[in-house]
Amino acid sequence: MPKKETILGVDVSNETYDSLVKQLFHYINEGKQSFIVAVNPEKIMKAKADDHLRELINSADYQIPDGVGVLIASKLKGGDIRDRITGIDLMMELVKEAANQGKSIFLYGAKPGVADKAMEELLRQFPNLKIAGVIHGYKKEQIEIIEEINNSQADILFVAMGSPRQEEWIRENRSKLNVKVLQGVGGSFDVLSGSIKRAPAGFRKFGLEWLYRLILEPSRWKRQLALPKFLIMVLKNKK
Ligand code: UDP
**The predicted structure's pLDDT at residue 239:** 59
Instruction: Decide if pLDDT at 223 tops 90.
Output: no
Residues with a CB atom less than 6 Å from ligand 1: 109-111, 137-138, 160-163, 165, 186-187, 189-190
Determine the residue of 190, 195, 196, 209 to mutate for testing ligand 1's pocket, defined as the one with the most ligand atoms within 8 A of the Cβ atom.
Answer: 190
Residues 91-98, mean pLDDT to the nearest whole number? 98
Distance 167 CA to ligand 1 centre (A): 12
Q: What is the pTM of this model?
A: 0.93
For 17-28, write each residue's pLDDT tens digit. Answer: 999 999 999 999
pLDDT tens digits, 67-78: 899 999 999 999
**What's the alpha-carbon Rg for the chain, to the nearest Å?**
18
Does the pLDDT of residue 238 top 80, yes or no?
no
pLDDT-derived band at 213 (thresholds 50, 70, 90) equals confident
Q: What is the C-alpha to C-alpha distance for residues 211 and 189, in angstroms, rounded to an integer? A: 23
Cβ neighbour number for residue 95 with a 10 Å cutoff: 20
Residue 149 · residue 181 · CB < 8 Å? no
CA 109, CA 139: separation in Å to the nearest integer? Answer: 9
